[in-house]
Structures are given as structure tokens and as C-alpha cells.
A and B are shown apart, each in its own frame.
Chain A
């Protein structure tokens, strides 16, 4: 209280400096942001080139890979070659491919005879519903359990928590999904079939009943995805909080007489959250794999299910389109996280 008067005068004296300082941090942030965006653009270009390399150069003859062993006439083969532009010289194929991809044309699916972009935009909302729900749940669960684990590290709760997380982390997600279907959808022993075996809707429902129906279908895929993904967040949050545990500001907070619970929630956890959030975003690539497998197992009509359908043919334009989409989505999400991060943590990017 006694410090009030001098600090007020300090603020007044410093007042002309503040806008200039703010402008400087703003420029610094802009420079940092521009760097990140440029980096992301380079990464996206690299994805584009990799896509061409993977699906045009490595297979040798993509049409042969796709029709793989099925009897096909020479005229049909030639027609397919022309359709996919394989009769053109390689450099022209490359420029065509880049130009089309940049304008949002990813070619035509071989098995659905429909534009790849249409197939992707059809499936995207379903994937977002599944992944978004699971993402929120496993991040929250991982952070809550991880910080509790670290706070009482070495205790029984901590050992059980990390043990369970490591075990679930080692389990293949598709296997867990199959088991959940057997136990909770088909029914086993005393447990009746509680949930649908797959798909997203039973059909014929409308309004609120439709929402409930979709939620009913959503339960098992979300549980599977959360189970295999939360362990990673838990371990990261745990070690991030362990890093903070010895800090002086926590001793100060305790010396002030704060309850243990408040010291954890108000002081320690917010600092441990920042590295956790970054790692959650860096690990999105792994989540994509989980989504593909879970959607495959539960026949969820999303991008992962589409990817599996494309693989079994193999429908190369569709596989390529989805590859580009997944890679681009992960890069964009990471860049967004990079851009938001310094706004949350003033120590970064200044």
C-alpha cells in the first residue's frame, strides 16, 4: 500500500515510453509471425513436391499399380493414362499437378469417379466431429491426471496413473477398438450390446433424435481415441510440472500461506501448461494415425475411413489427395499454435 504513490508517479513518468515499447514488441511479434508463416509455406511446398514424387515417380506406372492384376484392355489403359495426364512429359506433369493443386483441384478418384476434393469435403465434417470431441477430452484428461501425478510424484496414484498411461500407449488403437466393439456392441457374457458396431447414424432419425443417435454412435470411437492418446499428454504435463516443482515462486506462494491446492492450480499448473500445449500440437501427426485407424475400425464415414477405402484399391489420386490434406492440415495447425504461443507466453518469440 505504501508503494502506491511512487509507483503511480513512475507510471506517469514512463507513460511516453509505453506506446513505443508496445510498438516494438508488436514489430517483433510480426517479424516472428512472418518467419513462422514463411517456414510453413516452405513446408507446404515440400509436401506438394513429396506428393508428386511419391505418387508419380516411385510407382513407375501408376495406372498399372491401380488396376493391379485385373484384366484390362490396351485401349482402356491408354484412356486412363490420358485421363491422369501420364502421356505428357514429366516436367509438364509436375507443373500441371502443382498448378491444379494450388487452385484446389486434386484430380479425380479412380474408384468413385468423383473429384477428390468433393470426397474430402464430404468426409471432413464427420472427422472434425470425432477428432474435435476426442481432442478436447484427451487433452483435458491428460493435463488433469498428469498434473495430479506430478504433484504427488512417486506416490501410489502417480505410479498407477503413469503405468496405465504407458500401457494404453503401447496398445494398438485398432485392437482396442475391435475389443470395445466385441464387448460393448456385440455383447459379451452379462454385458448386452450397448452401442452400435459402427457408422455414424442409424438413418431415419430427425431433429433432436438425430443428434442423440449420432452421439450414441460417437461414444466408442471417442473412448478408443481418448484411451490411446491421453497417455502422451499425461506424460508431457507430468514432466512439465515436475520441472516447475522446485521453483522459488512456489515456495513463496506456500510461504504466503496459500493452500496446497491453490498453489498447484493458480501458480504451478499455468506455467506447466505452456510446454504441454506446444507438444500436444507437435504430436498432432500421431493423432492423425490414430484417427485413421479408429475410423477404419468403426466404419466412421470420415477422412480416415476414406483413406482406408482408397488404400484397398489402391486409388492413387484419392490416397494422394488425402496425403496432401493430412500433411497440410498438420502443418497449418502447428503454425497456428506457433502464432498463438507468444501471445500466451511473453518469453517466447521476443
Chain B
């Protein structure tokens, strides 16, 4: 948390902050030791590292002008060859380059949407668990309403009425997918708040903000971490869906956008499978990798679940 400022003050005797830091490091090491035993989780982690590497190094590996229509290097709809490993699209652009650049959009939107969704969910969950009474009742009714609603339809409707941009897509996915997080976090908050040290903190004069930020939040963080990993998976899928339905930014090519392009160009009826297969596999592999990681994190934190081994 406040690592930068504590290094000097904690240098001499072991102050409370240094102690806390040490404890945190120890629990991180312990976490990693247990995570390492989950084979599926490790596979997911390696997959994610590879995708992150590909996305980050895109300008170096495939160049920056892959999406230019006028400077397309090949003929339209070429099948895979030594020159174009994955073939070309309807304008003759290299599909491998488009796929690599698409990973940046898909991952970025997935990450941001998941972050927004988990942030909303955590805020709602912690406050609904902390403040009981009418406030919590109303909040949980709203959560239940969102939980039942067809969220994708809601997201599509939002993306339709707002200006077409990636920000809209992030917003549309984020504000519709938070309820599961809110429920989980609230349950955990209620469990934490019933412990004696919360009573002690209150007796010593700790206010709402202090209790929520210093005691409840650190205790729900592990759960939030697992939930974020799982949410990224569904956000990547949701982004692909919105792009495929054409309600995303048409100027930016994500994996879902590539699939929509392929369908519009008639790749389906002419059997141009190389146009369709790679983006779909990429979406599925990323979604699966995040799901595997999320389930592994979940079972490390909650050994009773016993999943993902």
C-alpha cells in the first residue's frame, strides 16, 4: 500500500508498518506456495503471461500499420500461406497482425470493464454489509434486480444509446455486471463484521470509514481478487459479443469486431474458415485462462471448495 513512504521510517527498529509489510510479504509467499500446487491455475497463468507479452510487444512484432486498408500487403481473402500465416482479410490485410493488435483492445476493455464492475460491486457490497437497515435493504433489492435482469440486453441497450466508443463499451459492461460481486462481498463483510476486533475498533472510537477501509476491506480483498480474475473472463466475452453485434466502436478492431467483419464479408458462406477460427480461439483461450486462474485463486483462499486441482 504505502510502500514508498514507509521504507525510511521502518528502517531502524521494526515499526508497526514494517511489521505489517513483513506479514503481507509472508502471506503472499504462502499464497504462491499453495497456488503452485494447482496445475490448472498454473496453465492459466502461463497462458495469460503469453497473451500479455503478445499484446504488449505488438508494435515491435507486427508493426503499427496493420489496420491500414490502403496499404494492405496482400490480395483479399487469401488462405494461409508462408507469407501470411493466418491468411488475409477482405481488404488484403494480414490477419495475424490484426489478431495481435486485436488482443490489445480485447484485453484492455476486458480489464477496465472488470475493474469498473468489481469496484462498483465492492463498494455496494461493503457498504450494504456495514450499514444495516433500510439503506442495505434497498441496495440489496437493486442488486437482486440486476442479478435477474438479462444483463447483456441491458449492456447492449446502453451501448446503443451512448456514443460509439470503447469507453461506452467499458461502461456498458461495467455497470451491468457488478451484482454477483456485490452479493459475495456483502456476505464476506457480514462475516468479518461479526468478529470481536471490529467491536474493539468501534469501542476505541473507529468511525464507519475507519472500520470499512482498515478492517473490512483488507479482509474482503482476497475474495475481490478472485472475483476480478473471473470477471475479466466474462468481460472479454461480453466485449466480443458487443463488437460482434456492431454496437462497439467500428473503427477499432477487437477480436469480436474481426468476427463481425468476417461475417459481413461473407466468410461463412464461402467457407473461409481461416478468417473465423483464430479470433474465436483467442477469445476462448483468454476467457478460459482467466477462469482457470480465478478458480485456482478461489480454492487457495477457500480450501473447502476443493475445485480446480
Contacts and interface: CB of A to CB of B under 8 A. Distances in A.
A312 B259 CA distance: 16
A311 B276 contact: no
A182 B275 CA distance: 11
Which secondary structure dominates chain B's binding surface?
helix
B288 A181 contact: no
The contact size tier of chain A is 35 or more
Most A-side CB within 10 Å, residue of B160, B237, B247, B270: B160
B284 interface: yes
A293 B157 CA distance: 15
B244 interface: yes
The 6 closest A-B pairs by CB, nearest first: A175-B280, A289-B152, A288-B150, A285-B150, A170-B287, A170-B288
B288 A330 contact: no
Contact of A327 (B141, B150, B280, B288): B150
A167 B148 CA distance: 24
25 contacts: A43-B145, A43-B148, A47-B149, A50-B154, A167-B284, A170-B233, A171-B283, A172-B244, A174-B244, A175-B279, A175-B280, A178-B259, A181-B268, A182-B271, A186-B271, A284-B150, A286-B151, A288-B150, A292-B245, A293-B244, A308-B245, A311-B245, A316-B161, A327-B153, A330-B148
Most B-side CB within 10 Å, residue of A54, A179, A182, A187: A182
A323 B283 contact: no
Interface string B233-259: 100010011001111000000001001
B259 A319 contact: no
B303 to A, nearest CB: 15
B69 interface: no
B153 A334 contact: no
A171 B288 CA distance: 8
Interface of A: 42-43, 46-47, 50, 54-55, 58-59, 65, 166-167, 170-172, 174-176, 178-179, 181-182, 186-188, 197, 282, 284-286, 288-289, 292-293, 296-297, 307-308, 311-312, 314, 316, 319-320, 322-323, 326-327, 330-331, 334
A320 B160 CA distance: 11
B260 to A, nearest CB: 9
A175 B259 contact: yes
Most B-side CB within 10 Å, residue of A46, A178, A179, A288: A178
